[in-house]
Every structure is written in C-alpha cells, then in structure tokens.
Amino acid sequence: MLAVENLEVVYEDVILVLKGVSLQAPEGSIVALLGPNGAGKTTVLRAITGLLDVHRGRITKGRVTLNGTELNSMSAPQIVSAGVGQVMEGRRIFREFTVEENLRAGGHTASRQQIAEGLERSYQMFPVLAERRKQVAGYLSGGEQQMLAIGRALMAQPSYLLLDEPSLGVAPKIVQQLRDLIVQINEAGTSVLLVEQNAAMALSIATHGYVLETGRIVMDKPAAQLREDDDVKEFYLGLHGNERGSLRDVKQYRRRKRWLS
Ligand SMILES: Nc1ncnc2c1ncn2[C@@H]1O[C@H](COP(=O)(O)OP(=O)(O)OP(=O)(O)O)[C@@H](O)[C@H]1O
Ligand SMILES: [Mg+2]
C-alpha cells in the first residue's frame, strides 16, 4: 500500500500548497486523484517521488510510506528503486533521442538483460513504438509521446505507477487507448495512482477516487460513488459546461447552489 498521511507541503518556505492531505492506494488498485488547476495534484506526486526539492518545495508535516517504509527520507533514485515510477506532467521525453534511446533511459539502473526484456515488453504493449523505434521521439504525436513516457517509466518495472494527466492534449480517440493501456498495466500487476482533470476517464477505471481542492481532500469515495455524486457529475463530468467555466471548484459550486436554493 502506498500511503500519504497528513501531508503539508510548502514552496519557497512560504507558499503553503498542501494543507494536510491523506490518501491511500492499496496494492493492485487504480486510484484517481482529481481536482481543478492549481489544486496541488502534481505537488502530491512530487512529494511521493522525492522531487519537491527540485522545485524549491519541502514537506513540512506528514509522511509518505510504501508498505510501511518511509519514502520521504529517501532520495528520488532510491524511491524509483523502491518501486515507484512516474510519468510527469507534459510527458518530458527526450525529443532529440530516438524512441529506443528514450526507453533505454528508463532502464538505466537495470542490467543488460532486464533492458532487453523491458524493450520487448514495451514494444508488445505499444506496437506503434516498435514501428518507430529508430525514429526521433520529437516527431511522435502527442498520444504516442505519452505512450513512450509510460513505456519509459515501466522499464524499471515499478510496483506503483504515478501518472500525471496522461490525457492532457491528447485526441479523444487516443484517450480511450490510453485508458485501455492503464487497465492493461494494472492487470499485469502494477498499482496506479492516476492524476486527471478528465474525471470521466479516470473514474471509469478507478476503484477509488479523491478530489483535491486548494490543498485539501474534499471527497474520498469509491469511484462508483463519485461517478454518481451530483456535484461531481455537474462539475467534473461537465454536464453543466457553462457554469463550470465561471466557478473554481466543487466547494464554490456547492456554495452557489445553496445560495440559489
Ligand atoms: N515550484 C513552485 N513554486 C511556487 N509555487 C508553486 C510551485 N509549483 C507549484 N506551485 C503552486 O502550487 C499550487 C499547486 O500546484 P500544482 O502544480 O501542484 O497543482 P495541480 O493541481 O497539479 O494543477 P494543474 O492541474 O494545473 O497541473 C499552485 O498554486 C502553483 O502555482
Ligand atoms: Mg499538475
């Protein structure tokens, strides 16, 4: 189980961004972390993977554990070795390198044989990457780059995969493919923590979901219940698109509804 307990994170020693966040991703699960822009979703992932200091951020309270072992006292490479892989926001592939070089970069801690096996696995899972293994990654489409970023993270055979908005800027048809891939990865034994603004996609495959707003978890429910929650439906599943544009989050939405009734 991957657990975040009562986490407080501050950037540049003054900007309090996470205000006591707790969440759990049991082994074998797909857990969705939803929330509007600026809520702190990426910050939660940085806190788990030990990448906060790169961004002048710091955990000031709480902790992150993987099967009881504290991750927040480890370095980022140690956390990868402990079994936590991630695909960062915006993909961050090496655009000038070939597809295969990008994949190899994800297995830099592995043996030659593990790399060969990893490449084989990636090409089976992503046939489009196999076709383009010698091509420069910068020429891939957005969806293909996302697949490459996922394939690269899988090279280290993580037990947990953290995905930061994989559907962002990807064509709807490809979002479906990504969704199916995430399910496939999970069925092959990798637990997934999925950060998404595409709530419909995330909740369609997640077992449990959390909604984060301005640094606090405001909903924590089985995904099936979140899918049926009126506020989530109206706000995140976009049934009232016009209203959504003018409101920042579910909290504000509820306040407005109370005020109107
Ligand atoms: N390095 C940083 N220094 C200062 N503030 C930061 C830094 N990184 C993020 N923030 C601030 O922290 C808050 C949370 O940011 P974060 O990127 O975690 O949100 P998010 O939920 O991932 O948003 P998005 O959906 O836009 O990706 C925002 O107000 C952001 O401006
Ligand atoms: Mg983000």
pLDDT digits (tens, 9 = 90+) for 15-61: 999 999 999 999 999 999 998 889 999 999 999 999 999 999 999 99
pLDDT digits (tens, 9 = 90+) for 239-256: 444 444 445 566 666 666
Please state the atom number of ligand 1 nearest to the C-alpha of residue 35.
Answer: 21
Using alpha carbons only, give the angle 89, 90, 93 rounded to the nearest 5 degrees.
110
Query: Strand, helix or coil at 145?
Result: helix
Least confident span in 119-133, 213-227, 230-244: 230-244
Q: Report the percent of the chain where pLDDT is more than 90.
A: 72
Ligand 1 mean position to 32 CA, how many Å?
18
Ligand 2 is an ion; its neighbours by CB within 5 Å are 41-42, 89
Q: Does the Cβ of 11 fall within 6 Å of ligand 1?
A: yes
* β-pair type (216-222, 208-213): antiparallel
- 3-class SS string, 74-140: CCHHHHHHCCEEEECCCCCCCCCCEHHHHHHHHCCCCCHHHHHHHHHHHHHHCHHHHHCCCCEHHHC
Q: Which has more confidence, 108 or 178?
A: 178
Query: Strand, helix or coil at 256?
Result: helix
DSSP 205: H
Please state the atom number of ligand 1 nearest to the C-alpha of residue 36.
Answer: 25
Ligand 1 site-directed mutation target among 23, 43, 210, most atoms within 8 Å of CB: 43
Determine the average pLDDT of the residues in 220-237. 85
Ligand 1 mean position to 38 CA, how many Å?
5
Ligand 1 mean position to 42 CA, how many Å?
7
Q: Does the Cβ of 85 fall within 6 Å of ligand 1?
A: no
Delimit the domains of the chain by residue range: 2-83+158-223
- Look at residues 170, 178, 217, 218 and name the one whose alpha carbon lies nearest to residue 194: 178
Please, which pLDDT band fits residue 152 given cuts at 50, 70 and 90?
Answer: very high
Note the pLDDT of residue 229.
86
Residues 6+ positions from 230 with CB-CB distance below 8 Å = none
Residue 173 has pLDDT above 60, yes or no: yes
* Ligand in nearest proximity to the CA of 21: 1
Q: Does the Cβ of 37 fall within 6 Å of ligand 1?
A: yes
> Which whole-number Å values give the CA distances from 173 to 178, 201, 209, 236, in the listed order?
9, 12, 24, 20
- Report the nearest-CA residue for atom 3 of ligand 1: 11
CA 152/CA 136 separation, integer angstroms = 15
Ligand 1 mean position to 142 CA, how many Å?
23
Ligand 1 mean position to 186 CA, how many Å?
28
Q: Does the Cβ of 16 fall within 6 Å of ligand 1?
A: no
- Report the nearest-CA residue for atom 26 of ligand 1: 37
The verdict on domain 2-83+158-223 having CATH code 3.30.1490.100 is no
pLDDT digits (tens, 9 = 90+) for 62-119: 999 999 999 999 999 999 999 999 999 877 899 999 999 999 998 777 788 889 999 9
- Report the nearest-CA residue for atom 29 of ligand 1: 38
